[in-house]
Structure 1
Amino acid sequence: MSDASRSDSGTRPTGDSDRDLERRWWKEAVVYQIYPRSFNDSNGDGIGDIPGILEKVDYLEALGVDVVWLNPVYESPMADNGYDIADYRSIHPEFGTMDDWERLLEELHARDMRLIMDLVVNHTSDEHEWFVRSREGDPEYADYYYWREGRGDGPGGKGQPPNNWNSFFEGPAWTYDDERGEYYLHLFDEKQPDLNWRNEAVRESVYEMMTWWLEQGIDGFRMDVINLISKPEGLPDGDPDEGLTGAEHFTNGPRSGQYIDEMCERVLSEEEMTVGEMVGVDAETAREYVGGDGSGLSMLIHFEHMGVDTGDGGKWDVEELDLLEFKDVITDWQETLADEGWNCLYLSNHDQPRAVSRFGDDGEYRRESGKLLATFLFTLQGTPFVYQGQEIGMTNTTFETRDEIRDVEAANFVEAALESGEYDSYEEVRPIVEARSRDNARTPMQWSDEPHAGFTGEEGDGEPWLPVNDDSEAVNVAAARADGDSIWHYYRELIDLRERRDVFVYGDYELLAPDHPEVFAYRRTLEDETLVVACNFFDGEPTVELPALAEAEESPDLLLGTHGHGDENGGRRRSDSGATLELRPYEARVYEL
């Protein structure tokens, strides 16, 4: 990474170009997401930590990334692996100390990299001081959360839950608290009570905490489920026939845009990177939150493209990838946010299965499909997010027994599925868990072919909190860096191209061959720069007509390809109607016109 990539103004130099682009450093960045618990264990206790991340800062620099998104490292009882925060201004002892965190920030900045922190403010832990005092009825904190009396008759005089809303983690979104004698709302685990954003004191407390972190020197926030913070007056019942019961009320609630707008005005500036994770949003809705007329966020993490391989039953209803639907979703976001807003590009994170297992082939074509997905990720308009291990093609894991599952969401799904009688045994539900569990993305990072994949330190017994994937002897960082044709080196080449070529970042997007069932092709154009990208998402050998390749006065150059340059034409041959590409399994090509 060159010093020019992070100037004082936060933008790359334009050289002789007279382009009038709305440049922002976070548009031009490549983000690397670290799940600390599984990244690198420095002391051998089986849990990744901040000193372990410090040991790998040079690795991040060598890869060439610009930003580190750090998943929660705050004080937490770990009911949801850190997304249940007990103290926003303390580091959980398993991860290290605040001094360790300050050293990490210093080392990243010294290497021209930035740091964004996870902001989790839809809910806290039930062990947070705010909730403890609210439960006790402390007048100052009594309304920091959603407390309601039960309705109708119920066991022990509790009544029934205040409404019929369900949790994202299965079951009712309400839990009765004996101490306060009321129900409290939690859209996730019962140890994650929802904050009451209608209370101005709550918002002031959140803004004060955010300001404190910015004063420590961070470069922005990734905002967890930020569009769930507003709930409607009266908390009405939801429609039980419309997906997650109640979601129509608490997703993009009546004041969500107002609260985010207030947050941006009170705390943030355009120089901070703000990434809002939002469930249940489409591209048109996203414009309410990003862009010149939006609430001020840099970009959104959305889930529309993560639904193209699921049925009507949602996440756990596993289906094959529908590439035509995938094209429709991606193209909608590319076109809708082209002039107003910005895209967040991702295929994997701590909440999703491994991309190469989900959208590629983690067996015979692991290398090819890993490169294919990298090509796709880096050649769309938006900011690419790389999740730890994605750059070496890490794969999904296995769960031979229920006891091996650590993901609370997956564990709850298994319990509900077996209790419903839909499945007779764990073995019947196991393929679904192995396809979708968040634990797939949380197995330890595979650094080498040493015991436990080199994840643990020399001290202690070194037993990782999650078992290392069985393929770690072959799939690891050391092996990937030693192999010049590896997925790792291909990521490095893409990162370098994106840093040097504005068309990768700011170029217009145009879908090509929209009806082709196997190939996703598109054109990127910026002034006199034009790229044509063709991606075969399957293991067949399709042909695709791309007249755009025949429009150039000179023969297009194969700028980059997953299979190398192949024959002298890069597998391209001329036809009367334009250019016909013959693609190999999971092959991607980037042509420069």
Structure 2
Amino acid sequence: MYKSTKTPNHKHLWWKEAVFYQIYPASFKDSNADGWGDIPGLISKLPYVRSLGVDVVWLSPMYESPQADMGYDISNYEAVYAPYGTIEDVDELVKACHDLGMKFMLDLVINHTSDQHAWFNESRSSKTNPKRDWYIWRPARYDEKGERIPPTNWRSYFAGNTWTWDETTQEYYLHIYSPSQPDLNWENPECRKAVYASAMHFWLARGIDGFRVDTVNKYSKDTSFPDAPITDPTTWIQAAPQFWCNGPRVHEFIKEMKTTVLDHYHTFDGGPIVTVGELSMAPNPLTVLEYVSAARGELDMVFQFDMVGLGQGKHFDGKYDFLPWELSTLESIVEKWQTFIDDTDSWTTVFSENHDSGRSVSRWGSDDPLWRDKSAKMLTLMQIAQSGTLFLYQGQEIGMVNAPKDWPIEEYKDIEAQNLYKEAIERGDQDRIQRLVHGLQLMGRDNARLPMQWDGSANAGFSAAEKTWMRVHDLYREINVEKQEADAHSVLQFWKKMLRLRKEYSDVFIYGRFELLSERDENLFVFRKIGEGKRNAVACLNFSQNVRMLGSYGSVVENMKVLVSTYGEGLGRELKPFEGRIYVDQ
């Protein structure tokens, strides 16, 4: 366990203290009754978002797209998907955020495009086309029988091989994700310039304040394209992230992006443009530091996915083979990413939900009606007290939970879920099918994409359409914004109070130094925060459905006062089921 007696000394910057709120456009608010959320609907809810204490709105991809992967397959960076609205609507959204004192951030999806992007249409048209090298093309190989096989045995995120045969030019193109998402060739400088112009300059010039940078460590590949070693003997397709993740030129590319584009813009109030990278498959803190060290000048911060991945199985095809987890493992993950910034010029993020994971209450707490709200509040305290920049995902603030377990697989819309289920059916392995369905129920991406639950009216107030793009949760009459706005003891009101408290105690909660106290405790998660000044805090979190005594932790907080308890009181030496409590120095 890492311990340091040094006082934290991190540079204070606006984006470190800001609360970011992620909005998934398809599922937030529909203004025109077509069953899809849209930008005008989002604008109508901005006062609500601001009332939470949010400082930055982060909008997931709203670009023109065939929607094979819910907008992460972009066919035109300089246009908006028609059901979401228009460029003028985005301009209005940016202005509305700024008028409310909030900044606005877009998703930057530039590892790949849609196969319907004009660039790819040109690239695939002939081997001599000027844009041929803007994507990654390779000739076929042939096996001992003389049959054509792909250039490598790499497995895709979404099942199957990472290479697709194109009849027009008789070569394969690379796609880490689906065949409809061909990877751009970042080795080509003209391609990079076009990406910067179309995906970045275009929107920064319209006044946005930053980017969440999708798949940021996947731009640089091993261009020798070797076969991956056999780690799954049941199939010839093998996981190969070591050949397309954290590649040899990735830092060069990110630095170029910053110096040639980002450094030439400012936020609407004159501050630096903010970047947060999606950094999957980077479990080593030293690797992460290379991306977020301020002196290196690459990214401001990144999302690291050890916690979100807790409970996931091994290999890409076994991702949803649920592995029971222990609280001590979660504690060590939090400790790892809280302390890696100590005595460095780097920064970290605090989050437990996004558009690619199950709901935190269903994963780390309990979505049983008896414990649902209590565990949601306890998890709120866990995040509030951690150092770093806080990110909220829509609906998290009202304790939305995973889709009901009795929903059939047909209700799952995500391309990853659909492809993995199809693959399992084709293999005819009933045990595998059951494991997959169970894993998707708990960790699948669709759980976070259910429509926002605004009130108890039809479709949860999300849409007046007869049918919404995705089914609304069965519990929307019990869990919704309107109901919780009127309840002083609701999860929503608790989040609002805690976000205010986090800023009031920023010296401890945002900038403080983390120290784990409950190492190897499978019921209580207890940690100390050492503030920048004389003020310290201790968070005590009961992750069980039973009363737990503070025990030896009682002596740690003996001379401290209770700042907040999720039960509304914090007296005694016992923590009630799923109670969270924060103590501060007298």
**TM-score, structure 1 normalization:** 0.90
Q: 1:515 to 1:20 in 2, by over 3 A?
A: closer
Structure 1 unaligned regions, length at least 5: 1-17, 573-581
Paired position in structure 1 for 2:250: 256
Whole-angstrom CA distance in 1 between matches of 2:187 and 2:8: 44
Report which stretch shifted further, 311-320 or 414-423. Answer: 311-320
Paired position in structure 2 for 1:382: 388
Say which of 432, 445, 459 aligns to 1:438: 445
Give secondary structure in 2 for the equivalent of 1:90. Answer: strand
Aligned-partner residue type, residue 299 of structure 1: M
Deviations 1:325-383 (A, max 9, x none): 11112111111123331111111110001111111101120001101111111110111
Give secondary structure in 1 for the equivalent of 2:148. Answer: coil
Deviations 1:290-325 (A, max 9, x none): 023444211111111123223435521112232111
Q: 1:425 to 1:519 in 2, by over 3 A?
A: closer
Paired position in structure 1 for 2:305: 303
Give secondary structure in 2 for the equivalent of 1:418. Answer: helix
- Superposition pairs of residues 15-54 of structure 1, within 5 angstroms: 21-54=10-43
- Superposition pairs of residues 97-116 of structure 1, within 5 angstroms: 97-116=86-105
Give secondary structure in 2 for the equivalent of 1:403. Answer: helix
Structure 1 residue 222 corresponds to structure 2 residue 212? yes
Aligned-partner residue type, residue 306 of structure 1: V
Deviations 1:69-109 (A, max 9, x none): 10000000000000000000111101001111111110100
Q: 1:29 to 1:548 in 2, by over 3 A?
A: farther
Aligned-partner residue type, residue 364 of structure 2: F
Paired position in structure 1 for 2:418: 411
Asked if structure 2 preserves the Cα contact closer than 8 Å seen for 1:30 and 1:66, the reply is yes
Report which stretch shifted further, 383-392 or 240-249. Answer: 240-249
Structure 1 residue 501 corresponds to structure 2 residue 505? yes
Whole-angstrom CA distance in 1 between matches of 2:329 and 2:432: 33
Whole-angstrom CA distance in 2 between matches of 1:508 and 1:151: 54
Give secondary structure in 1 for the equivalent of 2:562. Answer: strand
Give secondary structure in 2 for the equivalent of 1:535. Answer: strand
- Superposition pairs of residues 126-205 of structure 1, within 5 angstroms: 126-137=115-126, 139-153=129-143, 159-205=148-194
Paired position in structure 1 for 2:547: 541
Give secondary structure in 1 for the equivalent of 2:566. Answer: strand
- Superposition pairs of residues 133-532 of structure 1, within 5 angstroms: 133-137=122-126, 139-153=129-143, 159-209=148-198, 210-241=200-231, 245-269=239-263, 271-282=272-283, 283-313=285-315, 314-338=318-342, 339-363=344-368, 364-398=370-404, 400-423=407-430, 429-457=436-464, 461-502=465-506, 503-526=508-531, 527-532=533-538
Whole-angstrom CA distance in 1 between matches of 2:144 and 2:169: 17
Give secondary structure in 2 for the equivalent of 1:493. Answer: helix
Aligned-partner residue type, residue 296 of structure 1: E
Q: 1:311 to 1:167 in 2, by over 3 A?
A: closer
Whole-angstrom CA distance in 1 between matches of 2:313 and 2:156: 20
Structure 1 residue 68 corresponds to structure 2 residue 72? no
Whole-angstrom CA distance in 2 between matches of 1:83 and 1:207: 17
Whole-angstrom CA distance in 1 between matches of 2:193 and 2:223: 21
Whole-angstrom CA distance in 2 between matches of 1:301 and 1:158: 42
Aligned-partner residue type, residue 71 of structure 1: S
Whole-angstrom CA distance in 2 between matches of 1:404 and 1:470: 13
Give secondary structure in 1 for the equivalent of 2:390. Answer: strand
Higher relative contact order (Cα pairs below 8 Å, separated by 6+ residues) = 2
Sequence identity percentage? 39
Report how many residues are paired: 558
Give secondary structure in 2 for the equivalent of 1:262. Answer: helix
Whole-angstrom CA distance in 1 between matches of 2:188 and 2:548: 57
Shift of 1:436: 2.1
Report which stretch shifted further, 198-207 or 85-94. Answer: 198-207
Shift of 1:154: 9.6
Whole-angstrom CA distance in 2 between matches of 1:436 and 1:20: 37
Q: 1:322 to 1:244 in 2, by over 3 A?
A: farther
Whole-angstrom CA distance in 2 between matches of 1:319 and 1:367: 25
Asked if structure 1 preserves the Cα contact closer than 8 Å seen for 2:452 and 2:462, the reply is yes
Deviations 1:358-416 (A, max 9, x none): 11101120001101111111110111111100000111113633322210101111111
Deviations 1:106-165 (A, max 9, x none): 01001110111000011000000110000012532010001011101599x872000011
Shift of 1:253: 0.9
Asked if structure 2 preserves the Cα contact closer than 8 Å seen for 1:117 and 1:221, the reply is yes
Whole-angstrom CA distance in 2 between matches of 1:285 and 1:424: 37
Give secondary structure in 2 for the equivalent of 1:264. Answer: helix
Give secondary structure in 1 for the equivalent of 2:307. Answer: helix
Whole-angstrom CA distance in 2 between matches of 1:375 and 1:333: 17
Give secondary structure in 2 for the equivalent of 1:307. Answer: coil
Give secondary structure in 2 for the equivalent of 1:411. Answer: helix
Aligned-partner residue type, residue 516 of structure 1: D
Asked if structure 1 preserves the Cα contact closer than 8 Å seen for 2:308 and 2:353, the reply is no
Asked if structure 2 preserves the Cα contact closer than 8 Å seen for 1:447 and 1:454, the reply is yes
Whole-angstrom CA distance in 2 between matches of 1:262 and 1:158: 42
Aligned-partner residue type, residue 464 of structure 1: T
Aligned-partner residue type, residue 332 of structure 2: D
Q: 1:254 to 1:451 in 2, by over 3 A?
A: same
**TM-score, structure 2 normalization:** 0.91
Shift of 1:45: 0.4
Structure 2 unaligned regions, length at least 5: 1-6, 264-270
Q: 1:392 to 1:161 in 2, by over 3 A?
A: same
Asked if structure 1 preserves the Cα contact closer than 8 Å seen for 2:251 and 2:298, the reply is no
Whole-angstrom CA distance in 1 between matches of 2:10 and 2:452: 38
Whole-angstrom CA distance in 2 between matches of 1:425 and 1:336: 37
Whole-angstrom CA distance in 1 between matches of 2:566 and 2:417: 34
Aligned-partner residue type, residue 370 of structure 1: A
Shift of 1:21: 4.5
Paired position in structure 1 for 2:48: 59
Report which stretch shifted further, 407-416 or 425-434. Answer: 425-434
Asked if structure 2 preserves the Cα contact closer than 8 Å seen for 1:304 and 1:329, the reply is yes
